Structure 1
Amino acid sequence: MEYLVLALKGGCMGVADIIPGVSGGTMAFITGIYDQLIDAVRSFDFEFIKKLFKLDLIGAFEGPHLRFLLPLLFGLVLAMVSVANLMHYLLGTHPVEVWALFFGLIAASIIVVGRRIGEASVSNVLIGIAGAVFSYLLVGMIPVTTPDQLWFVFLCATISICAMILPGISGAFILLLLGKYEYITGALRNPADPGNAAILLAFVGGCIVGVSLFSRVLHYFLERHHSATVSLLTGFMAGAMRKVWPWKEVLDTVTIRGKVHVLSEANVLPPAYDSSFMLALALAGAGFSGVIFLEWLSSANRG
C-alpha cells in the first residue's frame, strides 16, 4: 500500500510536469514528500558513482533510497507518457476548465507551503515578494525557437529539471521558453520510435545531471536557511498564478512547422458569468479543497 501511494503521488507530479505553468515540485510539497524527494536524489552521491565504475552494483545500490524512488518514478513516468496526449487534448478543447482546476490547486498550495515558513519576519516577507516578482516576470516571457540537436536537448533537460523540483516554477514552462516543450512531449507520445528514444535518452541524461547538482544546492539552503528558502518558494508559487489564470486573450501568434504557437497573451476577466463560468469556478474550488484535504490528511498521519 505504501508503494502504491508513492506511485500515485509520482503520478500527480508527472501530470503537473506535463502542464506548462504547473510544477511537479508543487505536487511533491502538497503530498508531503518534498524533503524525502530531495534527500533521495542526494543519495546518489560520489560514493555511488565510484562503486558503479568498479562494477560493484550491489554496493552501489545499497545507499540510494530506491524503495522510495522506484515507485515514485514509476508513477511519474507512467503519468507523463499516458497523460501527454490527454492533456494536449484537454488544453486544446477545454482550456478554461483545465486552468481553473490548476488555479485552485496552486492557490491552496500557497497557503499550505506558506504555513511552513515559520518566522514571519520582514526579511522573509521581502524574500517572498522578490520570489513572486521573479516568477511573475518569468512566466510572462515569450517562448523562443531553438536547435533540435541532442546536445541541446541534454542542456534543456539539465535546466528544466531544476525548475521541475521547485514549487511554483514549471519545468514544462522552461521547456516551452527554450522551444522544446512540443518536441519532448511529441517524443513521449511514441517512445518506442528509435529517433524519439534517442531524444528521451538525451533528456533523461540531462535530468540526471541537473537534478543531482541542484538537489544538493537546494538541500543546503533548506537546512541552513529554511524560513528564507520556503519564503522564496512560496513567492515563486504566488507569481506563477499569472500563468494559470483561466481566462486569457491571445495577442500574438506565430506558425512554426505548421503549428500555431502563442507568442503573447493577456489575462482578462470572464467574458460572461454563465454556466461555463460556474463550471470553472467549481473546478477551481475542487482543486483548492483537494489540496487542503490532502494537507489535513498528511498532518493527521504525522500526528
Structure 2
Amino acid sequence: MYIINFIRGFCMALADSVPGVSGGTIAFILGFYDKFINSLNSLISGTKEERINAIKFLFKLGIGWVCGFVLSALFITSIFESHIYEISSLFIGFIIVAIPMIFKEEKESIVGHYKNIIFLIIGIILVFSITYFNPMTGGSGISVSVESLNVGLIIYIFVSAMVAISAMVLPGISGSTILLIFGLYAPIMGAVKGVIKFDLRFLPVVIIFGLGVLAGIALTIRGVKFSLANYRSQTIYCVLGLMIGSLYAVVMGPLTLSTPKPAMDLSTFSPLYFIIGGALIIGLERLKIALEKKKN
C-alpha cells in the first residue's frame, strides 16, 4: 500500500500545483477521497488510535505529494508565463474530462435530485464573480519579495492560502485556480521554487502561506465532512458548479500575470494540449481501476 499511496499523493500534488482540477478531484477519481477527508478529520479531532492511523496514511500520501509538488514547482514555474495559453488549454482538458467522471462516481447523488441544481448555479456564479471582480485581473500584479512585504500583503497571502487549501480539499475547483484568480499563482510558485533552490529571501512568504494552509485545513475539514455526510447531493452539485465556473477563471487567467496577456480565445486555444489534459485524467481513472484490482 506504500507505493499505491505514494502514487496517489504524487498525482494529487500535480493537480494541486496547477490551475484546473483540485487534488480532491484526483482523490475522487482514484477512489480514496472519503478516506482522505476522514483521515484529516481524525488528525484534528479523532481518538488516539484514529490519529495514529490517520498519520500513517497521510504520511505515505504526503511523501508522494511533496515529491510531486517539488517537481511541479521546479518545472511549471519556468514555463507558466511563457506558455500560458498551452498550459491553460491543458487545464481546460483536465476540467472538461473530469466533470463527467465526477458525475459517474456520484450518479446516485445527482440523478433524481434535480431540485439541487440551484447549488450548481451558485457554484458557477461564485467562481465567475470572484474572477470577474478580482482587482488583480488586468495587471496590477503582486510582488512577494521580502522587500515588498507589508501587513496588508501578509494578510492577503494568508487569507488566499486559507481559501486555496479549502478549494484543494474539495473535489471541485483547484486551489491553484483560486491563486490564479487572486493573482498569486505565479508569485507563490516562484517563491516555493526559490526556497527549494535555497534562496531564503522567499522563506517568509512560504511560511505565511503555509500557516494560512494549516488554518484553512483546520477550519474546512469538519465542514466538508459534515456536508458530504449530511448534504452530499447539494455538495456535489456545488462542486460541479465550481468546476464549470473554473473554466472561465482559466480562460481569464492570462490577465492575472505580472505582465498581463489577453484572455484566451479560439486563436490561442491549443487543441493538442487540451487532448493531452483530458488523456491524463482518463489515465488516472485507468490507474484507479488497476489499483483496485491489485488491492483485491
The TM-score with structure 2 as length reference comes to 0.78
* Residue 184 to residue 100, structure 1, CA distance change in 2 (3 Å): closer
**Residues 1:31 and 2:35 aligned together:** no
Q: Which residue does 1:159 correspond to in 2?
A: 163
C-alpha deviation, 1:106, in angstroms: 2.0
Q: Which residue does 1:148 correspond to in 2?
A: 149
C-alpha deviation, 1:16, in angstroms: 1.8
Counting only pairs closer than 5 Å after superposition, residues 203-214 of structure 1 correspond to structure 2 as: 203-214=209-220
> Which residue, out of 218, 223, 239, partners 2:224?
218
> Which residue, out of 58, 68, 77, partners 1:79?
68
Q: 1:158-184: per-residue Cα shift (whole Å, max 9, x none)?
A: 222111112232222323344433332
Task: Supply the AA of the counterpart residue of 1:287.
Answer: L
Q: Which has the higher strand share?
A: 1
* Residue 61 to residue 187, structure 1, CA distance change in 2 (3 Å): farther
Q: Which residue does 1:53 correspond to in 2?
A: none
**Residues 1:101 and 2:104 aligned together:** no
* Residue 200 to residue 93, structure 1, CA distance change in 2 (3 Å): closer
Q: Which residue does 1:125 correspond to in 2?
A: 117
C-alpha deviation, 1:83, in angstroms: 1.6
Q: Which residue does 1:269 correspond to in 2?
A: 266
> Which residue, out of 171, 184, 188, partners 1:184?
188
Aligned CA RMSD, in angstroms, stands at 3.3
| CA distance in structure 2 between the aligned counterparts of 1:61 and 1:195, rounded to whole angstroms | 39
Q: 1:41-76: per-residue Cα shift (whole Å, max 9, x none)?
A: 11123578xxxxxxxxxx699545012101211222
| CA distance in structure 1 between the aligned counterparts of 2:78 and 2:22, rounded to whole angstroms | 20
Q: Which residue does 1:293 correspond to in 2?
A: 286
Larger mean Cα displacement after TM superposition, 291-300 or 26-35? 291-300
> Which residue, out of 44, 54, 65, partners 1:65?
54
Percent identity reads: 29
Task: Supply the AA of the counterpart residue of 1:12.
Answer: C
> Which residue, out of 102, 108, 121, partners 1:113?
102
Larger mean Cα displacement after TM superposition, 39-48 or 71-80? 39-48
Structure 1 alignment gaps of length 5 or more: 49-58
Larger mean Cα displacement after TM superposition, 224-233 or 140-149? 140-149
Task: Supply the AA of the counterpart residue of 1:125.
Answer: I
Task: Supply the AA of the counterpart residue of 2:266.
Answer: L
Aligned length: 279
Structure 2 alignment gaps of length 5 or more: 143-147
* Residue 267 to residue 97, structure 1, CA distance change in 2 (3 Å): closer
Would you say the 8 A contact 1:107–1:288 is kept in 2? no
Q: 1:126-167: per-residue Cα shift (whole Å, max 9, x none)?
A: 322332333344344535256734742333322221111122
Q: Which has the higher helix share?
A: 2
| CA distance in structure 2 between the aligned counterparts of 1:302 and 1:228, rounded to whole angstroms | 31
Task: Supply the AA of the counterpart residue of 2:76.
Answer: M
| CA distance in structure 2 between the aligned counterparts of 1:143 and 1:86, rounded to whole angstroms | 28
